[in-house]
């Protein structure tokens, strides 16, 4: 009888602990979203004031900038992964050909990042006066 009671108590305590964890995670998620939204608003206000965007320019600028940000983040994360593979301790066990492939992959990622910047420099010139792009 004693074992049954202890088992039931253990199960009840575990269920309570998992319920608290779910609530805590939801609180963190909403806190993270609030911080992200605040950051987004501050970023928009900063760019708008620093570049001195007119409402018409802002309508053209923000979609291009958001796409630029998406592509540059993607290219950057690929470079980070390629660099991590290159710097991992497993490299010591690889053949020279495999190491060369990882180096080439990293160099290709850096080149892709440069292409994103070059592409969007031209895009920004299309939607903003050159003085504001500079």
Domain shared by 85 and 34, yes or no = no
Dihedral angle, C-alpha 104, 106, 109, 115, nearest 10 °: -70
Statement to judge: residues 78 and 132 lie in one domain: yes
Write out the chain's pLDDT in tens, 134 residues. Answer: 666 555 666 655 665 555 555 656 667 788 888 898 999 899 888 888 888 888 898 899 999 999 999 999 999 999 999 999 888 877 778 888 988 998 999 999 999 999 999 999 999 999 988 888 88
pLDDT given at position 123? 94
Count Cβ atoms within 10 A of the Cβ of residue 61 and give its class: 0-12 exposed, 13-18 middle, 19 or more buried: buried
Could you give the CA distance from residue 15 to residue 6 in angstroms, rounded to a whole number? 14
Domain ends where: 51, 67, 92? 51
**DSSP codes joined into one string, 41-70:** HHHHHHHHHHHT--HHHHHHHHHHHHHHHH
Query: Can you tell me the distance from the alpha carbon of 34 to that of 89, in angstroms, rounded to the nearest whole number?
Result: 38
Q: For residue 86, what are the contacts with CB-CB under 8 A and spacing of at least 6? A: 102, 103, 105, 106
Q: Tell whether 111 and 128 lie within a shared domain.
A: yes
Q: What integer pLDDT is reported at residue 131 of this predicted model? A: 86
Model pLDDT, residue 80 = 93
Q: What is the pLDDT of residue 91?
A: 74
Q: How many domains does the chain have?
A: 2
Do 82 and 132 reside in the same domain of the chain?
Answer: yes
Residue-level pLDDT at 32: 87
Domain that residue 116 falls in: 54-134
């Amino acid at each position: 009888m004693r074992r049954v009671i202890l088992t039931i108590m253990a199960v009840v305590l575990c269920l309570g602990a998992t319920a608290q964890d779910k609530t805590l995670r939801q609180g963190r998620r909403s806190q993270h979203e609030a911080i992200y939204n605040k950051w987004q608003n501050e970023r928009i206000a900063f760019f708008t004031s620093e570049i001195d965007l007119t409402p018409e320019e802002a309508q053209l600028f923000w979609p291009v900038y958001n796409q630029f940000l998406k592509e540059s983040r993607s290219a950057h994360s690929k470079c980070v992964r390629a660099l991590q593979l290159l710097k991992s301790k497993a490299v010591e066990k690889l053949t020279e050909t495999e190491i060369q492939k990882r180096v080439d992959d990293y160099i290709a990622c850096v080149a892709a990042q440069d292409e994103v910047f070059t592409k969007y420099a031209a895009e920004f010139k299309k939607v903003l006066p050159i003085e504001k792009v500079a």
